[in-house]
Structure 1
Amino acid sequence: MNLKQHAIHKLYQYRKAISTRPYGARGKNLIRCELCLLAQTYCTCNSRQQLVSDNAFLLIMYDDEVLKPSNSGRLIADLIPDTHAYIWSRTQANQKMLALIQDPCYQPFVIFPGEYAYPQQTVVSELKPTALDSDKKPLFIMLDGSWREAIKMFRKSPYLHDLPLLSFTPETVAKYGLRKGSRDFQLGTAEVAVLAMAASGEKGNAEALSLWFELFIAASMFSRSRQSNKDLTPLNQLSEEFKQKVDANLSR
């Protein structure tokens, strides 16, 4: 297997290299794949396929978030070619990241609940043609960390406060049957990306990412199980469903 590394793989290697001690993830004794971070027995890398998309994603990740095997942000980069990732800093914003946000080729949207918007910020719940510049590619900016960390990143990042917010309603979340936390907007990073792609009109890609997320969750649960004899049929079925969805999208 010779898969190309994407932005989050590279950020993971960088963050791991500067760590003073190994990250103590749950199941730290597992032998993990270095790319998907799942147990090697349930590695999904052979099923990974990139999509054709007119969207771009920027993940701003809270310190050690990229080291967590449970992080679903890497699933976005698995499928969407134009995905970027940087570690957040309160005092020194990454200059390459700022240049990306300001790049005239992109139209940035911060995905965050509208109730946290600053007075000068526009809040949209869907990407109507009037909200988009036809010459620009949507750049979905996602704050990747725990909910408390995401709030901190948003509030202490002034370069985000003049950008429009893309905020999803509980009805939109329910429509896609996504799992949620104690509040309606507390979704996994990949789940939020599903909503963003659907809002941009890429329904097929949204469905593909949703299946890829389901496969990730299933493989993670298998990794945590102590059963000696495991029927891999559920994983194989999800993998085949994902492949069929990608093939169907590419054939259009």
Structure 2
Amino acid sequence: MSRAQCPRCMRPQSHCLCELIPQLASRTRVLLLQHPSEVNHALNTARLAALGLTNAQLVVGEVFEDLATLLNPPGYRARLLFPGDDAQLIVADVVGEQDLPLLLVVPDGTWRKARKLLHLNPLLAQLPRVTLPEGAVSRYRLRKAPGPGALSTLEAIVQALEILEPATSFTPLLRSFEALIEGQIEAMGADTYLKNHGHKS
């Protein structure tokens, strides 16, 4: 028999995270394009980001038929948050009243799946890219990162928004994320966690 699930955060009712999810406003609009393989993942941080930001949208798929519309909401200029040779380091979005705020487009999936999203959606791959400064430390603790500075989707969004909008704190978004991690560690048991993850910093 399956456990009752919260329809909002998609967690078991006994581990619902909704009380920890803030409602934060941002000038930047966040568009999350989630690979279908991530939807039912226990650590679905993109969903937490979409729930915690009032100016965010989560779309699931591999090929997005309405991508041109998604990437061109009135009053925004789109940038893809993804590394690349031509990616520009993300900086504070110090803009005048005449300048358009950013639409930050964030592919969500493993690196391989995220690259596949770009391959299958040429409009996405053609967007100007921005990337985060090096040296970020993930709080993930449960997935082996492909390299130093690799962050979960939620952490990457928080860091990007903190840079873009330094007058606002977006760290409350991480409360539900940290509770999610603690719950997963508790579920697997301390011995299993230490055996599989304890030696990693």
TM-score normalised according to structure 1 size: 0.64
Distance 1:132 1:72 in 2: 32
Establish whether residue 73 from structure 1 lines up as the match of residue 43 from structure 2: no
Tell me the residue number matched to 1:42.
15
CA contact (8 A) 1:51 1:205 kept: no
Deviation at 1:131, TM superposition (A): 8.1
Out of 56, 59, 73, the residue aligned to residue 83 of structure 1 is 56
Deviation at 1:183, TM superposition (A): 1.3
Name the CA shift for 1:86/1:94 in 2 (closer, same or farther; >3 Å): farther
RMSD of equivalent CA atoms: 2.8
Out of 89, 94, 113, the residue aligned to residue 65 of structure 2 is 94
Letter in 2 for 1:201: E
Name the SS of the counterpart of 1:67 in structure 2.
coil
Between Structure 1 and Structure 2, the one with more helix by share is 1
Out of 113, 117, 126, the residue aligned to residue 83 of structure 2 is 113
Distance 1:184 1:203 in 2: 28
Letter in 2 for 1:151: R
Deviation at 1:77, TM superposition (A): 1.3
Establish whether residue 209 from structure 1 lines up as the match of residue 179 from structure 2: no
Letter in 1 for 2:81: I
Q: Percent identity?
A: 24
The count of corresponding residues between Structure 1 and Structure 2 is 187
Q: Which runs of 5+ in 2 are unaligned?
A: 191-201
Letter in 2 for 1:98: A
Name the CA shift for 1:186/1:133 in 2 (closer, same or farther; >3 Å): farther
| Deviation digits for residues 27-72 of structure 1 (CA, Å, limit 9, x no counterpart) | x944432222223222121333301221211111112322323211
CA contact (8 A) 2:29 2:56 kept: yes
Tell me the residue number matched to 1:159.
123
Tell me the residue number matched to 2:148.
184
CA contact (8 A) 1:57 1:82 kept: yes
Out of 136, 144, 148, the residue aligned to residue 100 of structure 2 is 136
CA contact (8 A) 1:107 1:132 kept: no
CA contact (8 A) 1:107 1:138 kept: yes
Establish whether residue 170 from structure 1 lines up as the match of residue 138 from structure 2: no
TM-score normalised according to structure 2 size: 0.78
| Deviation digits for residues 47-105 of structure 1 (CA, Å, limit 9, x no counterpart) | 33301221211111112322323211011112111211222334xx321x421312341
CA contact (8 A) 1:197 1:203 kept: no
